[in-house]
Amino acid sequence: MVSHPIVSKSEWLAARTALLAQEKAFTRERDRLSEARRALPWVKVDKDYVFEGKRGKLRLADLFGPHRQLIVYHFMFGPDWEAGCKSCSFYADHFDSMIVHLNQRNVGMVVASRAPLEKLEAFKRRMGWKFEWLSSYGSDFNRDFGVSFTSEELRKDAPNYNFGTTKFSHDEAPGLSVFYKDDGSIYHTYSCYSRGLDMLIGAYNHLDLVPKGRDEASLAYTMEWVRLHDEYGK
């Protein structure tokens, strides 16, 4: 039996219109937040990070392609893992259809993980993805941008993730970093982690619209239900 309130169309329209006012206020506040995000100061990247990709050895500057702006998604895939993180994969399922549009606004996007390139390429083939995926193994890139931790750091109780606001218990964590290139210099402009990534996942935003929402309250942890897209139904 449906236990949710059932009303006339006119009553529904009144309630929906009231909610619309809240949604518009949220949109205006989101616009202000986005403006503040863009106004953040930048940090010049002086370290020479080297990645391994299908195009060979690449430096951070090479990842921009013809674009001034670059988004790097930090995908959880450790050197000794046999498959990528299922939650990162859930997000990565959105990338290929999105990147072509980002390119039109002078933005490039790549994915980086510490796993060896051959593992990344094998998993990418399995998932049917086309985006550029780079191995950051052997560089400080993951640690410098807050998504890889040593065993010593994990043994400590001190917060180690999301700008020192929370404790992450695994050696690999998800995140996203943004860079800008100008006159040969590269600047780090923004990074986000944890639930800061939620707003970037299109499927989650659509689930937020349906009656049961994400329906995760009874699960052991958020995204417990998520599977690699070729494993649903198994």
Instruction: Give the sheet arrangement for strand 43-44, strand by strand.
Output: 43-44, 185-193, 175-182, 69-74, 107-113, 133-135, 50-53, 56-59
User: Is residue 112 predicted with pLDDT exceeding 90?
Assistant: yes
User: Is residue 228 predicted with pLDDT exceeding 90?
Assistant: yes
pLDDT at 1: 75
Does residue 106 lie in a domain region? yes
pLDDT at 13: 98
Judged on CB neighbours under 10 Å (0-12, 13-18, 19+), 36 is exposed
- 3-32 pLDDT tens trace: 899 999 999 999 999 999 999 999 999 999
Number of folded domains that form the chain = 1
Note down the domain range covering 47: 43-198
CA–CA gap between residue 135 and residue 63 (Å, rounded): 12
Would you say 134 and 71 are in contact if contact means Cβ atoms under 8 Å apart?
no
Determine what percent of the chain is predicted with pLDDT higher than 70: 100
- 130-185 pLDDT tens trace: 999 999 999 999 999 999 999 999 999 999 999 999 999 999 999 999 999 999 89
Spell out a b/e string for 77-104, using b for 16 or more CB atoms within 10 Å of the CB, else e.
Answer: bbeebeebbbbbbbbbbebeeebeebee
What is the pTM (predicted TM-score) of this model? 0.95
Spell out a b/e string for 105-114, using b for 16 or more CB atoms within 10 Å of the CB, else e.
Answer: eebbbbbbbb
Question: DSSP 3-state helix, strand, coil percentages of the chain (rounded to 5)?
Answer: 35, 20, 45
pLDDT band for position 234 (cuts 50, 70, 90): confident
CATH assignment of the domain containing 107: 3.40.30.10
Using DSSP's 3-state secondary structure scheme, residue 111 falls into: strand
User: Is residue 2 predicted with pLDDT exceeding 90?
Assistant: no
pLDDT at 139: 95
What is the maximum span of the chain, computed from C-alpha positions, in angstroms?
65
- 52-108 pLDDT tens trace: 999 999 999 999 999 999 999 999 999 999 999 999 999 999 999 999 999 999 999
Does residue 35 lie in a domain region? no
Would you say 171 and 154 are in contact if contact means Cβ atoms under 8 Å apart?
yes
Which amino acid is it at 80? D
Does residue 84 lie in a domain region? yes
CA–CA gap between residue 195 and residue 175 (Å, rounded): 10
pLDDT at 171: 95
Beta strands (DSSP E) in 105-168 are 107-113, 133-135
Does residue 214 lie in a domain region? no
pLDDT at 55: 95
> Within 13 Å of residue 44, how many CA atoms lie on the same side as its CB?
5
Does residue 95 lie in a domain region? yes
Does residue 25 lie in a domain region? no
pLDDT at 10: 98
Would you say 95 and 109 are in contact if contact means Cβ atoms under 8 Å apart?
yes
pLDDT at 63: 98
Name which of 146, 138, 198 is nearest 173 in CA terms: 146
pLDDT at 158: 92
Using DSSP's 3-state secondary structure scheme, residue 63 falls into: helix
Does residue 169 lie in a domain region? yes
Name which of 178, 158, 177, 180 is nearest 169 in CA terms: 158
Does residue 92 lie in a domain region? yes
